[in-house]
Structure 1
Amino acid sequence: MNENPTNETPAGELQRRDHVLLTNRPHVYRVEQAHRYTDHDKDGDAVEKVLLVVTRIGDTVPQGERLWANEPVRVATDDEVAEASAVALRAEVVAGLKKLAGLIEEHKPQLKVWPGLGMNVQLADGEVSRLAAALGLELLDGYGASKSKRATWQSTQSDLGEGLSVYFEGMPAPEPVEAQADELPADEVEQVWVFTFGSGQEHDGRYVLIYGTRAEARAEMVLHFGNRWCDQYASTKAAGVNEFGLTQLAKTEWPAAAEQEHRHSGGTAGGPGENSVTCECGASFSGFDSQADAMVLLNGHIADEQSGR
Structure 2
Amino acid sequence: MQHTLILNEALAEGLDLIGDKWTLSILREAFYGCTRFEEFRQNTGISKATLTRRLSTLTDAGVFRKQTTQTGARKAYQLSRKGASLLDASLLALQWEAQWNQTNTKAKQVLGSIVHKPCGKHLKPKVVCAHCDEPIHYSHIKWLDSDAQFDDQVSSIKASHSKTRRRSAKAATPEKANLIDLIADRWSILILMACFFDTTRFDTFIKQLNIPSSILSERLRFMREHGILLKSEYQQSPPRFEYGLTDKGKSVFPFVMVLRQWVNDVMLQQAPNQRLIHTDCGQALKFKLVCSSCGEQPGVGDISF
TM range (shorter): under 0.3
TM-score, normalising length: structure 1: 0.23
More helix by share: 2
Which one scores higher on RCO, CA 8 angstroms, separation ≥ 6?
2
- Work out which of the two has the higher radius of gyration on C-alpha atoms and give 1 or 2: 1
TM-score, normalising length: structure 2: 0.23
